[in-house]
Amino acid sequence: MTDPIAQPLRLPCGVTLPNRLCKAAMTEGIADPWLRATARHVTLYRRWSEGGAGLLITGNVQIDRRVLERPGNVAIDGNGGIARLKDWARAGTVAGNHLWMQISHAGRQSPRYVTTEPLGPSAVQLELFGNYAKPRELREDEILDFIQRFARVARTAREAGFTGVQIHSAHGYLLSSFLSPVTNVRTDAWGGSIDNRARFLIETVRATRAAVGDDFPVAVKLNSDDFRKGGFSNDDCLRVVELLNAEKIDLLEISGGTYEQPRLLGYSGRDDSAVEPQRHSTRLREAYFLDYAERIRKIATMPLMVTGGFRTRAGMEEALVSGCCDVIGLGRPLCTDPDFPKRLLARETDEAPRYEKTLKLGKARWLSGASPLFFIKLVNVLGQQGWYYQQLFRLADGLEPDLERGVLKSFFAYLADELTVAARMRKARRALDAGAAPPGE
């Protein structure tokens, strides 16, 4: 019997992925203070390469060192580090798999401890725990510059040994925020109609393709829906897919949500039953965005990848055989079990653990104050996120995961890590801005 997960996939550019499993992009937060790759990237990605997935996609590599998704992002913006990128690329491809660099700009979703002046299509502030400053609206010359920055970073990725790139236009980051009428209220050629709002993305794809050539994989990550009232809708998504069909795209990853509606973490503030009752097949019970992928599949001419929720062989096989998608994206399972793809392909396992189901703070009766429920929800979301970050850090340090770690401990470790790394990053940024060269360059 043919194993659909083990089948190779030939991409439109002529490159072949060895199987249908992908380590999806997860922010690593392990760059040095100058936002360069480190030995921890080498250790982590060698481990994932040897773990069996046919494709690895890096965490978002930023085109602008001033505006980051979080401290510890790698950036390529006048900060050196090319030799380090080459080390990263070599380690991440040791097993013959592909390693694609995800290229991004955080836009308005850059926290205050990173920048006090985030950037966006319009001056629409992200209201989330008071941790995000009001963004400055980009000028047209800055938009045009950023398009070329995406292209230059893609060229750098190819020269460094990465085997492809993915343009991040999901989850509310800069390109994604241009697509949404909530965050893009411009009245010029970069706002208004969905075709205008998609112009930044389309021009970025064209410039990137021109920079890397026709034989190099170029992928796009796109929200199927923002899950916000008046935001980027599934109908908008379908129109953007039509526009991308005319470009040379090798893989379209379907995701969804923004910081206001973090659907990728399994949460949505809307009533999904009002949209469409979910059918009870294994694939639809597991994957957050597969029902949207079914609609996109009817329009898209490029291969599709779906990330978010896959945990069982049955769910993955059903998604592939049904034709809803061509590649399965895996995230959190590879933070605790980097060899899961290899064991899945060898039929040594049929299911990944769901640690997120049990990582809860509980009722927290010891809490006092008017709104303990809010605190509990905050700790559960950030604590789970921090728990997986801590596992990722351990893998990057050559250690085994610590599955006994508590969610509250992870919550405070997450906050401490963010603030400590941010302080070091700000100091290094001031030195760079003053004209100092990064050490070791």
User: Domains along the chain?
Assistant: 4-352 (3.20.20.70)
Sign of the C-alpha dihedral computed for residues 405, 407, 412 and 418 taken in this order: positive
pLDDT > 90: percent of the chain: 76
pLDDT at 47 over 50: yes
For the chain, the first-to-last Cα distance in angstroms comes to 53
How is residue 344 written in tokens? 């899945």
Predicted pLDDT at 367: 40
Calculate the CA dihedral of residues 271, 275, 277, 283 and round it to 10 degrees. Answer: -90
pLDDT at residue 368 tops 90: no
- Give the pLDDT of residue 372: 55
pLDDT value at residue 360: 62
Taking 70 as the threshold, does the pLDDT of residue 284 lie above it?
Answer: no
pLDDT for position 377: 66
d(CA 47, CA 401): 13
Least confident of 70-79, 80-89, 123-132, 237-246: 123-132
pLDDT confidence of residue 408: 85
Q: How far apart are CA 160 and CA 47, in angstroms?
A: 19
Place of tokens 């923004």: 258
Per residue in 386-395, pLDDT (tens digit) is 999 999 999 9
Tell me the average pLDDT of the chain: 90
